[in-house]
Amino acid sequence: MKTTRNLMLILPLALLAACSNPSSQAPAGPGRDDLAPAPTAAADQKAAAQLDVQRLQGNHWVLDSATDASGKRIDALFARADKPVTLDFIDGRLAVSNTCNRMGGGYTLADGSLTVSPMASTMMACTDKALMALDQAVGSRLEGALKTELGTEGQLTLRTASGDVLVFTPQPTAETRFGGPGETVFIEVAAQTKPCPHPMIRDKQCLQTREIQFDENGIKKGTPGAFENFYDVIEGYTHEAGTRNVLRVKRFNVANPPADASSKAYVLDMVVESAVEK
């Protein structure tokens, strides 16, 4: 009986010694340091993908070159020499502008591949046949999965399954340039400009503008005020005498403007209404 008692005491002591011995090795399992590189690598990949999305959303992407599998220039994609095809990535959606119709669809970016869902477009007809063909030329090349490269020099390269290579150059969005989302406002521009006093510009002509309001259904509400001289510039808008327009613009605060410049910047978002007045 004495021997049995000694064995019963030795076994628990041996087990305690094994648990406290730092040289003893337990099998690998969840949470072990030897598995730390895997989740770190996954986190790095996720962070890199997020940076890519931020770069996409922070720029307009202007088509710079386009070649087919044989290296020949795809002329159909350059129907508008003055306004190249432009891509914008906004909150999970891809918008295409400077085509005949505005086009857009959802997109995902993962593992170096941009996948675009079937795109919808407006149904405007263009008299220029080359411009009409531009919609098809662009839409057919933005279908499905595209191999995607965001180069160190800033360019975006998309490669189609058929071997076409489209290269886009970044242009910072207004939100990037002015450091914020801005405020969306609607401005009505009268058909004719009028002379307006300006200390630096002799015989200056000013746009005549007033803000208007729309409800959630897109119906005008309230009574707009009188037209007033507009001394600023609306980026992206060119006024044609005799045409009245309602514009949706984004208004930004300008940090530290020059002494003779405005503290506000206006960027055209879209023309909502347009009418020729005699």
Q: Per residue in 26-84, pLDDT tens?
A: 444 444 455 555 556 656 556 556 778 888 999 999 999 999 999 999 999 999 888 99
pLDDT of residue 151: 80
Rounded CA separation 179/195 (Å): 34
Quick one: average pLDDT of 205-228? Answer: 93
Q: Which of 34-38, 128-132, 189-193 has the lowest mean pLDDT?
A: 34-38
pLDDT of residue 5: 40
Is it the case that residue 99 has pLDDT exceeding 60?
yes
State the pLDDT confidence band at 122, using cuts at 50, 70 and 90.
confident
Is it the case that residue 260 has pLDDT exceeding 90?
no
Fold entry, domain 52-172: Lipocalin (2.40.128)
The residues spanned by each domain of the chain are 52-172, 177-276
pLDDT of residue 37: 54
Is it the case that residue 221 has pLDDT exceeding 60?
yes
Contact 54, 62 (CB under 8 A): no
Is it the case that residue 13 has pLDDT exceeding 80?
no
Is it the case that residue 189 has pLDDT exceeding 70?
yes
Is it the case that residue 18 has pLDDT exceeding 50?
no
Q: What are phi and psi of 60, to 5 degrees?
A: -85, 140
User: What is the rounded average pLDDT for all residues in the chain?
Assistant: 84
User: pTM of this prediction?
Assistant: 0.72
State the pLDDT confidence band at 195, using cuts at 50, 70 and 90.
very high
Q: Which of 39-53, 60-74, 104-118, 136-150 has the lowest mean pLDDT?
A: 39-53
Rg, Å, the chain Cα set: 31
pLDDT of residue 177: 93
Residue 101, Cα to own-chain centre: how many angstroms? 19
